[in-house]
Amino acid sequence: MSAVNIPRLDLNTYINGTEEQRKAFSDAIGKAFNETGFVTITNHGLSKELIDDLYKQVKALFALPEDVKMKYEIPGLAGQRGYTGKNKETAKGFKVPDLKEFWQIGQTVADDAPEKELYPDNVQVAELPEFNTVTLEVYKKLEGAGIHLLRAIAVYLGLDENYFDNKVHNGNSILRTLHYFPIENPDALPDDAVRAGAHEDINLITLLIGASADGLELLTRDNTWFPVKAYGEDLVVNVGDMLQRLTNNKLKSTTHRVVNPPREEMKNSRFSVPFFLHPKSTMDLASLPSTIDAEHPKLYTDITAGEYLDERLREIGLKK
């Protein structure tokens, strides 16, 4: 198997580094996103204390009684805000739902931008007021880190560094807190039931704050599964399908999954918190002209981010 390129990069060297350091960061993230679609990131702006507090609140949320959680599942929101219960989301192409439940927090528009009328309000957990404040803080910090990462990507693509800024300001980004619940009776599971079926993310980039257990794997170009591990508080960042479309496959949206643990660990929960960085729904995802040539013909039809999100939510069963 060829080497899998998942570099560990220091975001501070891009934000505050010399011109040489910034170029090295941009080149490294571009190369990794071209080859494997994944990097890990240090110095991203989230302290260990904030991450620990976040996971404490996430565990408390999913420990709430089932009837309490269910009152936060809002029909008509396609899971985009509040709680989504077990057996609701199915990876594209799969028939068996993922073994998980989750809660989603969306954009809070602070100015009078038109998006203010488009996004539903976030659902507040009455029983856990600290969950609401901690997740909002984490959302804003990950959004900020994501904007810096997109600037480095823009430079790699030969675009203006701020190409993505106005497209993701007040974008339709989502913070998802995930609980892969204990598997009490492994023998009763359908053969292809897994914590998260093989899939690609919908958005521009995903920033994942660690996880409470192993299980994340990516599919290499050799068609083998490779475990993705992060150090301590590092973020795992990967390319989503919107960025892949925009770059005509120059940047790679890599298939990944969360596998079930060894049988002796199946009764343990797994928690993780990904941030799906989305642009505004009006962003044009038509492939950049610079990524199309005789060797790389245009692969995708033109579509907006909003149209594409809608299509994908239907495919994974969250929208009718």
SS3 sequence of the chain: CCCCCCCEEEHHHHHCCCHHHHHHHHHHHHHHHHHCCEEEEECCCCCHHHHHHHHHHHHHHHCCCHHHHHCCCCCCCCCCCEEECCCCCCCCCCCCCCCCEEEEECCCCCCCCCHHHHCCCCCCCCCCHHHHHHHHHHHHHHHHHHHHHHHHHHHHCCCCCCCCHHHHCCCCCEEEEEEECCCCCHHHCCCCCCCEEEECCCCCEEEEEEECCCCEEEECCCCCEEECCCCCCCEEEEECHHHHHHCCCCCCCCCEEECCCCHHHCCCCEEEEEEEECCCCCCECCCCHHHCCCCCCCCCCCCEHHHHHHHHHHHCCCCC
Estimate to the nearest angstrom the gap between the alpha carbon of 175 and the chain centroid. 8
Q: What is the pLDDT of residue 213?
A: 63
Q: What is the pLDDT of residue 261?
A: 84
Q: What is the pLDDT of residue 212?
A: 64
Is the whole model's pTM more than 0.85, yes or no?
A: yes
Low-confidence ranges of the chain (pLDDT < 70): 1-2, 211-213, 319-320
Q: What is the pLDDT of residue 1?
A: 39
Sequence-distant (≥ 6) Cβ neighbours of residue 143 within 8 angstroms: 168, 173, 275, 277
**How confident is the model over 253-304, as pLDDT tens digits?**
999 998 888 888 888 998 999 999 999 999 999 999 999 999 999 999 999 9
CA distance 252 to 148: 19
Which among 230, 180, 295 has a CA at the least distance from the CA of 51?
230
Q: What is the pLDDT of residue 151?
A: 98
Are the beta carbons of 251 and 34 closer than 8 angstroms? yes
Which among 137, 176, 150, 173 has a CA at the least distance from the CA of 51?
137
**How confident is the model over 156-187, as pLDDT tens digits?**
999 999 999 999 999 999 999 999 998 888 88
